[in-house]
Amino acid sequence: MAETIDILITLDENYLEPLHIMLTSLHVNNPAQDFTIWLIHERIPDSKLQQLNRLLAQWKMTFHEIKVPMELFSNAPTVERYPKEMYFRLASGKLLPNTVKKVVYLDPDTLIINPLNSLWDFDLNGNMLGAATHAGLTNLTEGFNNIRLGTDHGYYNSGVMLMDMEKVREIVQLEDIFKTIHEFGDYLLLPDQDILNFLYGKYIKEIPEEIWNYDTRKSNVYLTKSLGKHNSHWVAKNTVVLHYCGKPKPWDEKSNNRFTLLYAHYQQLLKRYNDLLS
């Protein structure tokens, strides 16, 4: 595990607490791995960034925060459905230094429950990104999204991605993203994810969702599709990233599915780490 893994995160102040929990799980389940954490944001207060940095320093993770220049998105459509933060991961090629060649992007509503190096070492076969689809039992959503977006590939979830940053810099253009939103904004249900699939789906290599982007709402689907193989024991041994898609989120009091307890466990671990810092 000599190579450092670069982790990309893009969010606003409201998701800092879930981010701390996700990073706790990353540390606990990758104790010998070196990480560099890249946080792209627009206006998170310095005091909260310092708090995050103290936590990461305790785990010997390197932390870099990149504040987005206001002028970069001055022409971006940013009505209520399109907050600026939705652009940041797609624009990461322009925001991260050129020395960063590859990153793993992670949504803050994830847990890392096994070593992440298996995703870091995944062969993209020349593609720009690696991402999973959430197909379900019948894969009806793929057909719906193909018709809606005019695509001919799976509908990729943008919550967990392996990104070849050199190809991102070569292929992704902000002008194309802005134009797509201006022309098709009324048809975009999940704006950043729709844009990812509409403009860049042909540059994506599919990764197994049950390993690297496990939708915690769909455990029964995974169990059925695998003919009973992908039970809780299999998930504990093989799944790397749990993704708490949809609502309620696991930190909400209304959440009470089979993965809520695991999330609460990492909440308690984070509290212990914070107690050590206080």
Give the pTM: 0.92
- For 84-128, how does the pLDDT look when each residue is reduced to its tens digit (9 = 90+)? 777 788 899 999 999 999 999 999 999 999 999 999 999 999 999
Residue-level pLDDT at 70: 77
Q: Please state the domain count of the chain.
A: 1
CATH number of the domain enclosing 151: 3.90.550.10
Residue-level pLDDT at 155: 86
DSSP string, the chain: --SPEEEEEE--GGGHHHHHHHHHHHHHT-TT--EEEEEEES---HHHHHHHHHHHHHTT-EEEEEEPPGGGGTTS--STTS-THHHHTTTHHHHS-TT--EEEEE-TTEEE-S-SHHHHT---TT-SEEEEE--TTT-HHHHHHHHHHT--S--EEEEEEEEEHHHHHHH--HHHHHHHHHHHGGG-SSHHHHHHHHHHGGGEEE--HHHHSEEGGGHHHHHHHTTT-SSHHHHHHH--EEE--SSS-TTSTT--STTHHHHHHHHHHHHHHHHHH-
Residue-level pLDDT at 103: 98
Domain that holds residue 249: 5-277
More confident residue, 181 or 149: 181
Give the residue-averaged pLDDT of 163-188: 86
Least confident of 26-30, 47-51, 73-77: 73-77
**Residue 140 confidence (pLDDT) above 50:** no
